[in-house]
Amino acid sequence: MAHISDLIAQDIEAYLKQHEHKSLLRFITCGSVDDGKSTLIGRLLYESKMLFEDQLAALEADSKKVGTQGGDLDFALLVDGLAAEREQGITIDVAYRFFSTDRRKFIVADTPGHEQYTRNMVTGASTADLAIILVDARHGVQTQTRRHSYLVSLIGIKRVVVAINKMDLVGFSKDVYDRIEKEYRAFAAQIGLTDILCIPMSALRGDNITDKSDNTAWYAGPTLMEHLETVQIEDDLQARPFRLPVQWVNRPNLDFRGFSGQIASGTVRPGDRVRVQPSGRDTTVERIVLSTQDMQEAVAGQSVTVTFADEIDCSRGDVIVAADAPALTGDSFDATLVWMSDEAMATGRSYLMKCGTRTVGTTVNAIEYRVNVNTLERTAAQALALNEIGRVSLLTDRLIAFDPYESVRDTGSFILIDRLTNNTVGAGLLHAARSRPRDLSWTRTDTSRAARAALKQQSPLLLWAGAGIDANKLEQKLMSIGRHTITLPAATADLPRVAGLLLDAGLIVVIDAESAQPAALASALPAAERIELAVDAAAPQASLTGERLSLPSAAADETVEQVVEVLRRAGRVG
Amino acid sequence: MSTLTHLQRLEAESIHIMREVVAEAENPVMLYSVGKDSAVMLHLAAKAFYPSVPPFPLLHVDTTWKFKAMYEFRDAMARKLGMDLLVHINPDAKARNINPFDHGSALHTDMWKTEGLKQALDKYKFDAAFGGARRDEEKSRAKERIFSFRTAQHRWDPKSQRPELWKLYNARKHPGESIRVFPISNWTELDIWQYIHLENIPIVPLYFAAERPVVRRDGTLIMVDDERMPLRPGETPEMKSVRFRTLGCYPLTGAVESTAATLTDIIQEMLLTTTSERQGRVIDHDSAGSMEKKKQEGYF
C-alpha cells in the first residue's frame, strides 16, 4: 500500500499521528453500466495508490483476458465483483469500496443504474455525505440522470458532483460541457439541489481525476480527487438539539444503570437537562460513559452510554432528547415511502416499522400520490409497486418520538418489515405528525394539477412570507396582476397537506409566517414550487437564489412591489 | 464543532451494530479467530457494553492446526475479559484426521471450518454470530450486508439480501434461520492497524518478527510449528526472522521475512509493502470466485 509519503519511512510515529486524525467521507456513485462508473471507481482506487502489486498483476492479466480496452488496463475489472456479474457484464447490487489518501478515508457505495434497482440506489444514498452523478458527455442529461438526481435529493444528500465523463470522446469540447452543465443546473434547481460541482473528465484516460488535464485548459475548477479531499463533510448536526435513541439498557449491577445508543444529533454534557420521549419525563445527565474513562462531552455520531441523576423509566426504543428542545411525537404521519419488495404495498395492511431503535406496528392509511421518478410527475395511486415512491399517510399502533427527516436523518427515517417474510419491504422518511383520525378526503380525478393551473394561466407557487413581508399586501398585489391566490396563516393545522391541496388546485399560496420557521414545510413541498421571502438588511438589492428571495429593507409596499417584480422577471408568476 | 475522525466514526458504527444485535437477537455469539481483526472486534465489544462484560460468549471453531501461540493468546484473552470461551472441534474431521497435507487446503477448510461452524451454531442454537470479516478483503465481501442472513441450512444467497438503509438493521428471522453480523465491515487493514496502535490493543506475538523455524515450500515460507508437519525430501527447517501478516492454520499461512518487531515497525512495513494481505492465504488461491462459492456453502 505504497502511499508515496517519505514520512512513512522517516517518521512513522508522526505519520500515524497525522493519519489517525483523518476525516471520513462517504459517497455514492450513480450512473449506468455505460457511463463508465466502474471505470471511475477503479481509477480512484488506482490513483490513490491503494492497489498492491499482486492486485495490479491480476488486473493486467484480467485486462488482457477479459478486458474491454484492447489489452490496456481495464479499471472496471477492479470493482466488478460477483462471478454472476462478470458473466452478465453488469453490477447487480450495492457494493462498498474503500480507499484513502493522505487527507481522508473514503467509503464508496457503488450502485447500479438500472431502473429496477432504485432500491439499491436509495440504500447506498442513505449513508452517503455526497453523490457523484455520472453523465456520458456524448449523451448529456438523460432520464436516468434526472432519476438519480431526484433520489439523491429525496434522501437529503446536499452535495453533488456531476462527473461529465468520456470527454475524450467529444474532443474535450467546452461547448458540450457548458451545454450539459447548463441543462443539469436548470433541472437540479427544480428539485432543490444547489451545491453542485460539474467536472469534465475521462475516467478511462485519467483526465481531471487526480491531475488537472491539459485537455481541458478552459476548466478552472478542482479535480475530482481534490474536491473529494476538501469538500466540507459536517453539516450542522452537532448544533441541532440533542437526540439519543436508546438501543440497550446497560445494567451490570445494582449500582449502575446506563442507556446506550448512538447520538443522532446534538451534543451532550453531564448536567444537561434531558427528557425521555415519548413518555415525557425529565431528568439530568449524570455521566457519559464509553470504556473506563468518562467523557465530558459527546457529539452527534458517537456511540455512548449515559446515566441519569434520577431513577426514571427508560428502555430500548425511547429517545433521550434535550428537555428544552424535544422531538415531535405522534402516531399518525405524513411520510415518503420507497417500496422495495416484489409484492406491492397494500394500504390497510399491517407492517412492522422500525424507526430509530423502536419497532411498532403500522399501516399505510392512504397514498396521497405517487411520484414518477423519471418525470417527477405526481399521480394518484392505489398501490406502490417495487421501486415506486409515494407520499403516504401512516398510522402506528403506538406513539413514537421523531424528527422531520430533513432535520435529523436518524430520528426521521424508517424501514417497513413484512410480518410474514421478515423482509425489509420499504424505506421511508417522516415529515410531520398529523391529527388522527381524519376525514379529509376527496374524490380522485384524472384532472392534473398542471391542467388546473393552466386554466388559471399560472404555475402553482408557494411563497413563504417571512419577517418583514406583509402577506396581505403581497396577495393584493398578486391579485392586481390577475393571479389566483390564497393566504394561509403559518399556524394552519396540517399546513403542508393543506398547502399541497391548494397547490394541486393550481393556486399561488402565500404563507403568512412573520415569526414561524419554514423548516417543517421545507420537505413537504417540492422546491420548484417554493420560494422563501426574507428581508436581509445586508442585501444590496432584491435577489433570487434557489428557493430564497432576499430583499433589502424597505417600506412594506415597496418590498411587495420588488417581490412581484423579481418573480415576474424569473417567470414564476406568469 | 468537532469533526469526528475516521476511526471515531468507524468505532461508533461498530459499537452501534453490536448493541443492535444484543438487543434484538435471542442468543448471540462472537466468532473469535484470534487474529488481529478478532482482537479489534473484541476490544470494540468490551467498549460497547462497558461496564458490563459483553453479554455473549466467544466461539472458536478450532481446526486443531492453529499456531500454538494462538491457543495461548486465545485462552489468556478470554480469562482477562471474563468472557465464556467455547471451543468447537468437528468430531468427523477429527475422526478422519483431516489435515492440509493429506487432504489439501480446500477439503481441510471445508471440513474443519465450514462444517465445524455449522455444527457449532446448530449445537448451541446461536441465532446471531459476529464475525470479523471486512469488505476490503475480497470482492464478494464487498457486496455482503452487515447483517447477512443464512437459511436454516446456513446458505447465503447474494441475490436476495435485505436492503440496509441508514442505521436501521432488520434482525428479524424465522426459527432456524440465523444472521452473521460483521461489525467491522467498513474497516480496512490500515484502519485496523491504526486502531490497534491508537488503543493499545494486544495482539498475538506472531504478528511481530522473531526467529522462527521455517521451510520454503511452493514459494511460500511455512513455519514448522509442531512435529505433525511432514517434511519433504530436501527440506530442513531453518531459523529466519519472520512474521505473519495474517493468521490461520499454520500449514496454510505464509510467513514474510521481516525484522519488524514493534507495532510501529509492522505498520511501517505494511505501508511500504507491495503485496496484499490475503496473498499469504493459500485458501483464496484455489479458484477464481472461491470465496463467493465457500460463502454460499456456509463458510464465514
Specify whether B218 is located in the same domain as B163.
Answer: no
Out of B12, B268, B279, closest to residue A12 by CB: B268
Q: Do B158 and A354 touch (CB under 8 A)?
A: no
Q: Do B289 and A22 touch (CB under 8 A)?
A: no
Specify whether B211 is located in the same domain as B109.
Answer: no
Q: Chain A: give the shortest CA distance to residue B81, in Å.
A: 13
| Residues in chain A closer than 8 A to B273 (CB atoms) | 1-2, 52
| Residues in chain B closer than 8 A to A256 (CB atoms) | 51
Q: Do B1 and A234 touch (CB under 8 A)?
A: yes
Q: Does A329 touch chain B (CB under 8 A)?
A: no
Specify whether B165 is located in the same domain as B237.
Answer: no
Tens digits of per-residue pLDDT, B190-214? 899 989 999 999 999 999 999 999 9
Q: Does A231 touch chain B (CB under 8 A)?
A: no
pLDDT, mean over chain B: 85
Confidence at B1, pLDDT banded by 50, 70, 90: low
The answer to whether A127 is annotated as binding is no
Has residue A567 got a pLDDT over 90?
no
Chain A: residue nearest B143 by CA? A95
The amino acid at residue A535 is V
Structural domain ending residue among the three candidates B193, B221, B245: B193
Chain B: residue nearest A8 by CA? B268
Mean pLDDT value across residues A143-156 = 90
Structural domain ending residue among the three candidates B167, B193, B219: B193
Specify whether B258 is located in the same domain as B167.
Answer: no
- Between 3.40.630.30, 3.40.50.1220, 3.30.1330.40, 3.40.50.300, what CATH number should domain A6-230 receive? 3.40.50.300
- pLDDT for the residue numbered A439: 42
The domain over range A449-569 is classified in CATH as 2.40.50.100: no
- pLDDT for the residue numbered B69: 92
Residue A420's Cβ-count burial label (10 Å; 0-12, 13-18, 19+) is exposed
Confidence at B268, pLDDT banded by 50, 70, 90: confident
Has residue A389 got a pLDDT over 90?
yes
Q: Does B198 touch chain A (CB under 8 A)?
A: yes
Q: Does B273 touch chain A (CB under 8 A)?
A: yes
**Is position B198 within any domain?**
no
Out of B164, B167, B289, closest to residue A83 by CB: B289
Specify whether B11 is located in the same domain as B152.
Answer: yes
Specify whether B257 is located in the same domain as B166.
Answer: no
Q: Does A290 touch chain B (CB under 8 A)?
A: yes
Specify whether B56 is located in the same domain as B92.
Answer: yes
Cα–Cα distance measured from residue A417 to residue A345, given in angstroms and rounded to the nearest whole number: 11
Confidence at A2, pLDDT banded by 50, 70, 90: very low
- pLDDT for the residue numbered B73: 95
Q: Do B50 and A289 touch (CB under 8 A)?
A: yes
Confidence at B291, pLDDT banded by 50, 70, 90: low
- pLDDT for the residue numbered B286: 40
- pLDDT for the residue numbered B289: 47
Has residue B71 got a pLDDT over 90?
yes
Has residue A446 got a pLDDT over 60?
no
Helices B189-199 & B6-24 angle (0-180, nearest 10)? 90
The answer to whether A174 is annotated as binding is no
Specify whether B173 is located in the same domain as B209.
Answer: no
Out of A19, A252, A424, closest to residue B194 by CB: A19
Cell of A98: 474503500
- Between 3.40.50.1370, 2.40.30.10, 2.60.120.10, 3.30.43.10, what CATH number should domain A328-433 receive? 2.40.30.10
Asked if B131 and B181 touch (Cβ cutoff 8 Å), the reply is: yes
**Is position B123 within any domain?**
yes
Structural domain ending residue among the three candidates B171, B193, B215: B193
Mean pLDDT value across residues B86-91 = 90
Q: Do A123 and B163 touch (CB under 8 A)?
A: yes
**Is position B292 within any domain?**
no
| β-strand partners of B89 | B62
**Is position B1 within any domain?**
no
Region of poorest pLDDT, from A424-428, B51-55, B275-279, B287-291: B287-291
Per mean pLDDT, which of A201-205, A223-227, B114-118, B150-154 is the most reliable?
A223-227
Q: Does A93 touch chain B (CB under 8 A)?
A: yes
Peptide bond into A278 cis (omega under 30): yes
Cα–Cα distance measured from residue B66 to residue B48, given in angstroms and rounded to the nearest whole number: 29
Q: Chain B: give the shortest CA distance to residue A458, in Å.
A: 40
Confidence at B300, pLDDT banded by 50, 70, 90: low
Q: Chain A: give the shortest CA distance to residue B231, in Å.
A: 28
Domain hosting B251: range is 204-285
- pLDDT for the residue numbered B34: 92
Mean pLDDT value across residues B287-300 = 53
Confidence at A469, pLDDT banded by 50, 70, 90: confident
Domain A237-322 homologous superfamily, CATH:
Translation factors (2.40.30.10)
Cα–Cα distance measured from residue A154 to residue A264, given in angstroms and rounded to the nearest whole number: 19
The answer to whether A135 is annotated as binding is no
Tens digits of per-residue pLDDT, A196-249? 999 999 988 889 999 999 999 999 999 999 999 999 887 678 889 999 999 999
User: What percent of chain A has a predicted confidence (pLDDT) above 90?
Assistant: 44
How many angstroms separate the Cα of B214 from the Cα of each of A230, A529, B211, B234? Answer: 47, 73, 9, 13
Region of poorest pLDDT, from A205-209, A522-526, B36-40, B130-134: A522-526
The domain ranges of chain A are: 6-230, 237-322, 328-433, 449-569
- pLDDT for the residue numbered A525: 64
Contacts of A65 (CB under 8 A, 6+ apart): none
CB atoms near residue A376 (< 10 Å): 16
Tens digits of per-residue pLDDT, A18-29? 777 888 999 999
Q: Compute the Cα dihedral for A83, A89, A95, A96 and give only its sign.
A: positive
Out of B3, B20, B164, closest to residue A233 by CB: B3
**Is position B199 within any domain?**
no
| Residues in chain B closer than 8 A to A303 (CB atoms) | 11-13, 15-16, 19, 48
Establish how many alpha carbons lie within 13 A of residue A423's alpha carbon, considering only the half-sphere containing its beta carbon: 13
Of A50, A86, A94, A53, the closest CA to residue A68 belongs to: A86
Q: Do B4 and A301 touch (CB under 8 A)?
A: yes
Tens digits of per-residue pLDDT, A86-120? 555 444 567 888 888 888 999 998 876 565 568 88
Chain B: residue nearest A9 by CA? B268
Q: Does A238 touch chain B (CB under 8 A)?
A: yes
Out of B3, B23, B194, closest to residue A23 by CB: B3
**Number of folded domains in chain B?**
2
Has residue A443 got a pLDDT over 80?
no
- pLDDT for the residue numbered A456: 77
Of A237, A234, A192, the closest CA to residue A548 belongs to: A192
Q: Do B1 and A238 touch (CB under 8 A)?
A: yes
The answer to whether A118 is annotated as binding is no
DSSP H or E stretch at residue B18:
helix B6-24
Same fold, A237-322 and A328-433: yes
- pLDDT for the residue numbered B298: 55
Contacts of A463 (CB under 8 A, 6+ apart): A474, A508, A509, A510, A511, A531, A533, A563
Q: Do A352 and B139 touch (CB under 8 A)?
A: no
**Is position B290 within any domain?**
no
Has residue A159 got a pLDDT over 80?
yes
pLDDT, mean over chain A: 85
Best interface-test mutation with A: which of B19, B146, B267 has the largest number of A CBs within 10 A?
Answer: B19
CATH number at residue B130: 3.40.50.620
Mean pLDDT value across residues A557-572 = 83
- pLDDT for the residue numbered B9: 94
Q: Do A24 and B46 touch (CB under 8 A)?
A: no
Name which residue leads in pLDDT, A66 or A405.
A405
Mean pLDDT value across residues A522-526 = 62
| β-strand partners of A26 | A107
Mean pLDDT value across residues A382-391 = 91
Specify whether B116 is located in the same domain as B170.
Answer: yes
Structural Rg of chain B based on CA atoms? 19
Q: Do B6 and A53 touch (CB under 8 A)?
A: no
Specify whether B28 is located in the same domain as B85.
Answer: yes
- pLDDT for the residue numbered B283: 42
Tens digits of per-residue pLDDT, A263-319? 999 999 999 999 999 988 999 999 999 988 899 999 999 999 999 999 999 999 999
Has residue A61 got a pLDDT over 80?
no
Question: Phi/psi class of residue A140: alpha, beta or left (left: φ > 0; alpha: ψ in -120 to 50)?
Answer: left
- pLDDT for the residue numbered A5: 56
Q: Does B153 touch chain A (CB under 8 A)?
A: no
Q: Do A415 and B16 touch (CB under 8 A)?
A: no
Region of poorest pLDDT, from A77-91, A121-135, B9-23: A77-91
Quote the strand ranges of A317-388, DSSP E. 319-322, 328-339, 345-346, 350-355, 358-371, 378-379, 383-384
Cell of B33: 479467530
